[in-house]
Amino acid sequence: MSEGTNDYTKNIVDLRRHMWMDGIEVELRRLIWQIAVVGKYISAKIQESNRKLAGFENIYGEEQLALDRISDDILKNKLQHSGFVREYASEELEDIVTIGKGQEQYVVTADPLDGSSLVDTNLAIGTIIGIHKHSVMDCGRNTMVAALYITYGPLITMIYSAGKGAHEFVLDREGEYVLSEENIRLKEKGSIFSPGGLRCDWTDAHLKFIETLEQEGYKLRYSGGFVPDINQVIIKRGGVFTYPALKKSPKGKLRLLFELQPMAFIVEQAGGKATDGREDILALKVTNVNQRSPIYIGSAAEVTMAGQILSQSSKD
């Protein structure tokens, strides 16, 4: 091995070293690491599923449902034996479940496999995690102490924040998460937009917001997966993702606890904003585990613009 290779290896920062350097408390470091390891297992199950889908049997529908359940089971079982998690809430479960002995510090929320319907098309999908230190119900901003999401695409990447910036890691060939980008910062204004929901179901106010973006030359980028679309906004350093209030669904589609809160935490740590069009996502109280909310998330300028247009339209 050359001297240059040795120097390069010494300069690699893996996830555990980064969290230690960041001064994150021991139990939270270990919990984040264990969740990151779960991502490796979920990725293996996705690859196994895709190999089956490449065969001749028409098993996609059942395989998709199985992937959701398997991902949830893998995550829940790992956390149950972690020694750090008191309660667990997941999109796959009807309610919050106790998985610890009662003295553990943390409550974990999860969308174990966001975008599983995209598996057969080979588009990126992901896992979304929120880590809270108190009950997630009837509480706001102060409950969340960390959040992360893992993207299963051409590369397996993870962006996490423990309240000290947002950082990206890439899973390398040796199975280590190595630092790719530290302290990611969004620009004040971006150039891409990802609009969810059918155009015919949008409210007039939301349509006006989208038309404003189109008139300003924003590029449409929408995959139908929350994780890859948010990841694109973050990695491209700006833009906006929105799944708005719809005429038939005034609360939107995405779940506050499992999807919106963790992503809002990360985006805010990257210098962006996340609102329901009026209030900050992290300021909204959770009163039901399946509570939904509209979302405008990304660069500060676009999210602020959305709020101004929605506010003005409500006065007209």
Query: In order of start, what are the domains of the chain with their CATH numbers?
Result: 3-181 (3.30.540.10), 192-315 (3.40.190.80)
Question: Quick check: 139 pLDDT over 70?
Answer: no
pLDDT tens, 226-236? 999 999 999 99
The whole-number pLDDT of residue 140 equals 52
| Backbone torsions φ then ψ of 24, nearest 5 degrees | -75, 140
The model's pTM is 0.91
Q: How many CB atoms lie within 10 A of CB 185?
A: 15
Distance between CA atoms of residues 65 and 142, nearest Å: 34
Q: In which band, very low, low, confident or very high, does the pLDDT at 141 lie, cut at 50, 70 and 90? A: low
Q: How many CB atoms lie within 10 A of CB 167?
A: 25
First and final C-alpha spacing in the chain = 70
Q: How many CB atoms lie within 10 A of CB 2?
A: 7
Distance between CA atoms of residues 211 and 202, nearest Å: 12
For residue 204, give Cα distances in angstroms to 95, 199, 247, 298.
35, 10, 9, 21
Q: In which band, very low, low, confident or very high, does the pLDDT at 9 lie, cut at 50, 70 and 90? A: very low
Q: Quick one: angle between helices 261-269 and 226-235, nearest 10? A: 10
Mean pLDDT of 218-243: 97
| Backbone torsions φ then ψ of 205, nearest 5 degrees | -65, -45
The whole-number pLDDT of residue 213 equals 98
The whole-number pLDDT of residue 278 equals 95
Task: State the average pLDDT for the chain.
Answer: 89
CB-based contact 193:213 (threshold 8 Å):
yes
The answer for residues whose C-beta is within 8 angstroms of residue 201's C-beta and 6 or more apart is: 246, 247, 248, 249
pLDDT tens, 262-290? 999 999 999 999 999 999 999 999 999 99
Give the percent of the chain with pLDDT over 70.
Answer: 89
The whole-number pLDDT of residue 108 equals 97
pLDDT tens, 105-124? 999 999 999 988 888 788 89
CB-based contact 302:240 (threshold 8 Å):
yes
Distance between CA atoms of residues 316 and 314, nearest Å: 6
